[in-house]
């Protein structure tokens, strides 16, 4: 197994509020998503478009992510003058835990808010431009809510099943997608309700 494959197979649960705060910025989430989903090593300049910022601002965010342990410098591709970055943690989840401090809980909520805002903006952008999509892509987008009644074990099984269904299509692991394949962002949330009644 190569170093990239080894790093790609690791899923890390983040509970450190310092790391959560470092991630709670739209540009940093965009950078992490790009690096994690592609496995690429990039310069700040090549990542600037992904972040929607200048190369110098993107470099600042890459250094902040490196300080938090989320990205690392990658080996140079040539003469060593360019600084390359890659994901240090290609797959991660966030979990403060039930006994988390108020500071950790606040950091987790700030990160979740940033994440949800970004994903809701994507959904809105698609809804506003879907009519411009090629005919074969017009009906692909889906948005819905399903109110279910489940036990904790059933909810865990459903979550695992969804992840298994998505896994073969993840950009990082799909090495030879068909020519007509495009990036599709899947937003999935299963949130138990009425737990404090």
pLDDT-derived band at 124, boundaries 50, 70, 90? very high
- Which pLDDT score, from 0 to 100, does residue 6 have? 39
For the chain, what is the domain count? 1
Supply 115's token pair. 């994440």
Cα torsion angle, 163, 166, 167, 172, sign = negative
Q: Above 90 in pLDDT, residue 2?
A: no
pLDDT in tens, 151-179: 999 999 999 999 999 989 988 888 889 99
Rounded Cα distance between 85 and 19, Å, is: 18
pLDDT in tens, 125-135: 989 999 998 98
Position 97 in a domain? yes
pTM of the model: 0.81
Position 29 in a domain? yes
Which residues 6+ apart lie within 8 Å of 107 measured at CB? 17, 18, 20, 21, 24, 96
Position 174 in a domain? no
Supply 82's token pair. 């360019």
- Residue 19 belongs to a domain with what CATH number? 1.10.10.10
Position 145 in a domain? no
Rounded Cα distance between 119 and 142, Å, is: 14
Position 117 in a domain? yes
The domain in which residue 39 lies consists of: 3-133
């Amino acid at each position: 197994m190569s170093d990239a494959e080894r790093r790609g197979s690791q899923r890390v649960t983040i509970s450190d509020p310092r790391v959560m705060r470092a991630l709670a910025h739209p540009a940093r989430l965009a950078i992490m998503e790009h690096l994690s989903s592609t496995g690429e090593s990039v310069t700040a300049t090549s990542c600037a478009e992904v972040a929607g910022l200048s190369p110098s601002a993107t470099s600042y965010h890459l250094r902040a992510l490196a300080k938090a342990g989320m990205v690392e410098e990658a080996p140079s591709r040539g003469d060593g003058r360019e600084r390359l970055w890659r994901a240090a943690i290609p797959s991660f989840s966030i979990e403060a835990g039930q006994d988390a401090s108020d500071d950790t809980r606040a950091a987790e909520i700030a990160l979740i808010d940033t994440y949800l805002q970004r994903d809701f903006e994507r959904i809105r952008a698609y809804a506003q431009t879907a009519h411009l999509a090629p005919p074969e892509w017009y009906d692909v987008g889906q948005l819905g809510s399903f109110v279910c009644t489940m036990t904790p074990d059933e909810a865990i099984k459903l979550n695992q099943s969804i992840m298994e269904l998505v896994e073969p299509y993840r950009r990082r692991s799909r090495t030879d997608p068909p020519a007509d394949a495009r990036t599709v962002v899947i937003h999935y949330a299963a949130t138990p309700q009425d737990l404090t009644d």
